[in-house]
Amino acid sequence: MAILEQGVGLVINKKTGLIFFPAFDWAISPTHPEREERLLYTRDQIFEEGVMDLPQIHEYAPRLASLHDVSRTHFCVPRVQSQVTEAHLIAAGSTLQLGDSVVSGEIKNGFAMVRPPGHHAMRVVHGNRGFCSINNEAILVEYLRRRHGIRKIAIVDSDAHHGDGTQDLFYHDPDVLFISFHQDGRTIFPGTGFTNELGGPGAYARTLNVPLPPGTADETFMYVVDNLVLPVVKDFQPEIIINSAGQDNHYTDPLGSMRFTARAYADFTKKLKPHLAVLEGGYAIETALPYINLAIILALADVDYSYVMEPDYWPGRFKESPEKTAQVHRMVEQLLESWANRDKVDIPKIFGVGKYYQRKKFIYYDTDYIEEEQIEKVRMCADCPGYIIIESRAERGYRAPVRIYAVSIPFQACHSCQSEAYDVYEQAKKQGECDYIYMQDKSTDTCITYEKDKGQEWVSEG
Amino acid sequence: MYIGIDVGGTSTNAVLLDDGLVKASATVPSRDDIITSLMEALDRIMKGVPAELIERVVFSTTLITNLIAEKKYDPVGIILIPGPGLSHVHYQYNTDTLFISGAMDYRGREIMPLRDQEIANAISCLSTKGYKKVAVVGKFSSRNNKHEKEVASRIKSLHPDWHVEMGHQVAGQLNFPRRVVSTMLACATRDKYSFFVESVQAALNRRGVEGLVYILKADGGTMPLSKVTGVPIETIFSGPAASTLGVQALIPPGETAVVVDIGGTTTDLALILSGQPLLSSRGAPVYDQLTQVRALAVKSVAVGGDSIVERVGKEILVYSERLGAPFCLGGPMPTPTDALRVLGLTRLGNAKKALEAMDMLGQPLGMSHSEVAQRIINMVIDLVVQEIEAIFKQWEQEPAYRVWEVLQKRKERPNMVVGVGGAASGFITQIAAKIGANPVIPPYAQVANAIGAAVAVPTLQVNLRADTEQGYYTIEQEGYQGKIEKDPFTEEDALLLAGEWLKKRAEKYGLNQAVEKKEFTRRDVFTMVRNWITTGRIYDISVQTPRGIIGHIGARGGFSD
């Protein structure tokens, strides 16, 4: 009994780490939603409240991620430097800093209140889409694995837009559970995130999507959290839980049509207990962000947030239609069933029996007006999740299209997959059909880029 | 000729500077009455110097520190207008604190009105309890002071004799809890400070000193004594600032140095980075309460020459307490000073007594006296070195909110460790060796704090925040809010307006010549876009007079001005 009490005491004493990086000198363009002003009022609110002085809070300085941290996760075309600015490296690096501090036990949890965001950035990066260039959470996941030997990670995405980038990056990874609840993709960017997107053959039902009807309010939000998110996360037994803390489900968001409140975001945070929350979208910069960010910080730090309230909110303001609620309840039931049966389903029946499982993707980069066609193949292997091959062709206006060929070896790869993947990479170099050929070997933390025109190869190692 | 005086806890130091040289210096013990100590030291250095040659006098005192430490002030009642946000349980200040309705948001828009009845109730509650001093503080009051002003005027109309202090006039930076503490302390100390200022003026007049008289602030800047418009608590902790400025004046310009001021019971550490003392990024803590007082980053370590040393079992421990003088000076317990004496690193006290002190500790452990002495010195040095490393780490870990701030972060190591204060000489060589820097004990190290006061210059800042959509701007340091007259109001206009206010502020303090040079330390521009249309701009501008000192001691040709 005495020991138990001591243990509880230790947990309470640990602080919540914060990195606030509003990038007051960085914008996509002067009038873009991702502009200097975005976190200005959040700054005002948390500074005026004296949040950084609370004994439960420790504020860290941001730091830069390395280019290798990025290439361990993405295939940036043609190279990392051409896709990221310093601001991107700082946003990603800040997330890594908090990851280090959580793993070392310095803090119990952390919140990277950083911009620019990242959850729409996929494995291949031809440009910016959905205001994102590189995926902060995914870079963190690969970093935690490489640096700290962490294997199982759960990512819960609470942004109003489907976290399609994060989904893409971990679609074939059985050790990452990805749950995204968001406004129904038929009514909002990026137009994906439906219940049938459940992960590849090696990671079936490790991706779960909950498309919510526009107008969904706190009650249904909490229903999804209590009945789907929490039990599934608990069942998965992750070593680390990450929350992609987008805030555009708020009832005042100009881009989304949902009706969540700051209080509900805090309740969700308190229930999920993420080790790390990473800010994603949210563009009601005056009416939502100052209140949601404050509420999330207080919830993480276990400080009373019941006095935090939007000035125009009153309890009971939003009523939900019973039909819509019933529809969500049915969806939750169906997803729970998929989760429960994840290891019993007939994989060959769903995905076929070939050497590779293959899917074709068409990806639109809304910020940069790029159209990408992609064929993604994953090696079906009984011993590991299998390596991934991507052939991608991107067109941007009237410029000559860029063709790339990329091979990614997962950190769990078996020996035969690893050596086979290198053969595939060498083969592609010889064929000379693509402008750039990439090898991303997560098992040895080695990244190689081959440029056809120059006949030259660049290697980076972690 | 310039005079600097530092009234410290145990002694008062004074120097007379003439053309960059120290003409006279004096050290007298500090008395209970600060003015007596001040005048005693002043008279000592002015011996034979005609009073009319004194161009200026700067002093640093423990007056406000003592007032607050000893709670020698009338009780202050607090009326808060916190609105939504943090729970009110966080707002506890050991005095009657009343909460009333009303709220402003981050842009100074009223989101909840005041309620007359609640204001009346709060005032009558404080009146019943006998308060005559009240601090009125609202969240975001520096963005809109309307609520604070309304409550203050209600108090004034009911109780014209009460002293009311408003948050937006004391502490304009964003941080409501710190604003509350700063306002409360300003309210508590203002009249005592005024009384002190009048007494000093009178005493100086009697001596015929007609030069300018300034008081040193915690940030190393000065404030004219005659203008009590400033905030008295800004003069708290000016002692460590004085020592740091003194070192700045005693070492070559542009150096990176650690200042180690080893006293009887505490060691103060400060940084000079490329010739400029490091400012604390947030306000100074005053006895566990966080304020918005701008201060140099000074770290106090609870160890000094008089700290007691004891043997516990097989361990020798250095404690933070003092029980009197070192053993070699007739004190009751062994101390680090005794260890220094045994190793020949100081000449203080009686050598035999010092050896005796070491033997008391070492004999049961079978250690020779020099072994014991070295162990004690090592313990003190390790502690100080650890804290020096921590200060540098903390400086490197300062938050950054802009890309350029992250990119310009640098690692800097000190070239020199500069010792000031009584016990510094015995330790400084070994501390410097440990961190790979040169040990320096400058001439006049004993009176470095008085030199620091003598060379300090006024510092003035103005933070302007203009919101063109709302059509008004605020000046943080003045608690002023006014209409933006120009349309469009550009960044250039904002910079000009900030510059004008700096000038206005200088005039108010009688410091007109101080604003000949100015530097902008922040110029953020935020474009406000609503529904894809630019609706206005927010400008966040900081302008200040350059920080610095009058000149370096012994510089050729004396001071430049």
Q: Domains in chain A, please, with CATH? A: 15-340 (3.40.800.20), 356-461 (no CATH)
- What pLDDT is attached to residue B279? 92
- Domain with residue B405: its CATH number is 3.30.420.40
pLDDT tens readout for residues A336-380: 999 999 999 999 999 999 999 999 999 999 988 999 999 999 999
CB of A21 within 8 Å of a chain B CB? The answer is yes
Q: Are residues B238 and B167 in the same domain?
A: no
Query: Is B558 contained in some domain?
Result: no
Question: Which residues does chain B have within 8 Å of residue A37's beta carbon, measured at their own beta carbons?
Answer: 526-529, 538
Q: Which of A48, A51, A114, A310 is the best residue to mutate to test the B interface, defined by the most B CB atoms within 10 Å of its own CB?
A: A48
pLDDT tens readout for residues B416-473: 999 997 678 889 999 999 999 999 999 999 899 999 999 999 888 999 999 999 999 9
| ipTM greater than 0.90 | yes
Query: Is B510 contained in some domain?
Result: yes
Q: Are residues B41 and B181 in the same domain?
A: no
C-beta atoms of A307 and B176 within 8 A: no
Question: Which residues does chain B have within 8 Å of residue A44's beta carbon, measured at their own beta carbons?
Answer: 106-107, 140, 143, 174
pLDDT tens readout for residues B325-349: 899 999 999 999 999 999 998 888 9
Q: Are residues B63 and B96 in the same domain?
A: no
pTM of the model: 0.93
Q: Are residues B331 and B425 in the same domain?
A: yes
More confident residue, B393 or A181: A181
Q: How far is A253 from chain B (nearest CA, A)?
A: 11
Average pLDDT over residues A156-181: 98
* Among the partner residues A26, A37, A304, nearest to B526 by beta-carbon distance: A37
Q: Are residues B228 and B260 in the same domain?
A: no
Q: Are residues B228 and B277 in the same domain?
A: no
Query: Is B230 contained in some domain?
Result: yes
Q: Which residue of A has its CA nearest to B174?
A: A48
pLDDT band for position B226 (cuts 50, 70, 90): confident
Query: Is B554 contained in some domain?
Result: no
Q: Would you call A119 a catalytic residue per the annotation? A: no
Average pLDDT over residues B28-36: 88
pLDDT band for position B556 (cuts 50, 70, 90): low
CB of B50 within 8 Å of a chain A CB? The answer is no
- Domain with residue B114: its CATH number is 3.40.50
pLDDT band for position A307 (cuts 50, 70, 90): very high
What is the pLDDT of chain A when averaged over all its residues? Answer: 95
Query: Is B232 contained in some domain?
Result: yes
- What pLDDT is attached to residue B555? 62
Q: Is the pLDDT of residue B92 over 80?
A: yes
Q: Both tokens of residue A169?
A: 């990056």
Question: Which residues does chain A have within 8 Å of residue B535's beta carbon, measured at their own beta carbons?
Answer: none
Give whole-number Cα distances, B538 to A37, A373, B466, B514, B541, in Å.
Answer: 9, 43, 6, 28, 10
Q: Are residues B20 and B121 in the same domain?
A: no
Residue B303 is part of which domain span? 253-441
Q: Which residues contact B382 (CB under 8 A, 6 or more apart)?
A: none
- What pLDDT is attached to residue A8? 41
Q: Is the pLDDT of residue B8 over 90?
A: no
Q: Which residues contact B347 (CB under 8 A, 6 or more apart)?
A: B341
Q: Which residue of A has its CA nearest to B108?
A: A44
- What pLDDT is attached to residue A13? 77
- What pLDDT is attached to residue A361? 95
Q: Is the pLDDT of residue B411 over 90?
A: no
Query: Is B399 contained in some domain?
Result: yes
Q: Is the pLDDT of residue B560 over 80?
A: no
- What pLDDT is attached to residue B559? 58
Question: Which residues does chain B have within 8 Å of residue A62's beta carbon, measured at their own beta carbons?
Answer: 399-400, 406
CB of B403 within 8 Å of a chain A CB? The answer is yes
- What pLDDT is attached to residue B483? 97
Q: Are residues B34 and B118 in the same domain?
A: no
B279 forms bridges with which residues in the sheet?
Answer: B296
- What pLDDT is attached to residue A11? 46
C-beta atoms of A308 and B85 within 8 A: yes
pLDDT tens readout for residues B135-188: 999 999 999 999 999 999 999 999 999 999 999 999 989 999 999 999 999 999
Q: What is the signed CA dihedral for B62, B63, B65, B71, rounded to 10 degrees?
A: 150
Would you call A14 exposed, middle or buried from its count of C-beta atoms within 10 A (0-12, 13-18, 19+)?
middle
CB of A64 within 8 Å of a chain B CB? The answer is yes
Average pLDDT over residues A268-294: 97
Q: Are residues B178 and B225 in the same domain?
A: no
Q: Is the pLDDT of residue B30 over 60?
A: yes
C-beta atoms of A24 and B176 within 8 A: no
Q: Both tokens of residue A353?
A: 């029996």
Give whole-number Cα distances, B56 to A94, B53, B82, B246, B272, in Å.
Answer: 50, 9, 44, 17, 25
Q: Is the pLDDT of residue B321 over 90?
A: no
* Among the partner residues B89, B397, B527, nearest to A61 by beta-carbon distance: B397
Distance CA A118, CA A85 (A): 13
Question: Which residues does chain A have within 8 Å of residue B84's beta carbon, measured at their own beta carbons?
Answer: 307-309, 311
Would you call A288 exposed, middle or buried from its count of C-beta atoms within 10 A (0-12, 13-18, 19+)?
buried
Query: Is B452 contained in some domain?
Result: no
* Among the partner residues A24, A44, A85, nearest to B174 by beta-carbon distance: A44
Q: Is the pLDDT of residue B552 over 60?
A: yes
Q: Are residues B407 and B434 in the same domain?
A: yes
C-beta atoms of B400 and A61 within 8 A: yes
What is the pLDDT of chain B when averaged over all its residues? Answer: 92
User: Residue A306: how many CB atoms within 10 A of its CB?
Assistant: 11
CB of A163 within 8 Å of a chain B CB? The answer is no
C-beta atoms of A37 and B538 within 8 A: yes
Tally of structural domains, chain B: 4
Question: Which residues does chain A have within 8 Å of residue B526's beta carbon, measured at their own beta carbons?
Answer: 24, 36-37, 40
pLDDT tens readout for residues A83-116: 999 999 999 999 999 999 999 999 999 999 999 9
pLDDT tens readout for residues B176-218: 999 999 999 999 998 888 888 888 888 898 999 988 899 999 9
C-beta atoms of B106 and A90 within 8 A: no
Query: Is B553 contained in some domain?
Result: no
Q: Are residues B327 and B352 in the same domain?
A: yes
Q: Is the pLDDT of residue A7 over 80?
A: no
Q: Are residues B64 and B87 in the same domain?
A: no
